[in-house]
Amino acid sequence: MLSDNSGQFGHDTLEEHNLKLEIKKRTLKEIAEDIENIVKKIKPKQLFLAFPKEHNRELTNELGSQTKAVLTKNIASNLVKTDKQKILSHFE
């Protein structure tokens, strides 16, 4: 006999869904903090950022004013698999 018990049909429970959202939110916050720390330590005159479109706005919202002030280019794209010789061309 089948029932709609949690996990029976492979659907997340509300608790699992909330956990996934919380993990995503914390991860974005940690990435923003890492960027902030780099900017504070290195004090660059300009900063280029590439981050996937689906989370780019959320990440930039987490950045502080000092980092936003040096953020010269922000590309809403995932460049992880881009050939390292071609990455800078995305910021021209």
Tell me: the pLDDT tens digits for 38-80? Answer: 999 999 999 999 999 999 999 999 999 999 999 999 999 999 9
Q: What gap in Å lies between CA 51 and CA 61, rounded to an integer? A: 13
Question: What pTM value is reported for the model?
Answer: 0.79
Q: Is residue 41 part of a domain?
A: yes
For 10-32, the pLDDT digits (tens) are: 566 778 888 999 999 999 999 99
pLDDT confidence of residue 2: 53
Q: Is residue 64 part of a domain?
A: yes
Q: How many domains does the chain have?
A: 1
pLDDT confidence of residue 28: 97
Domain span holding position 41: 14-91
Q: Is residue 87 part of a domain?
A: yes
| End-to-end CA gap in the chain | 61
Q: Is residue 8 part of a domain?
A: no
Q: What gap in Å lies between CA 53 and CA 83, rounded to an integer? A: 19
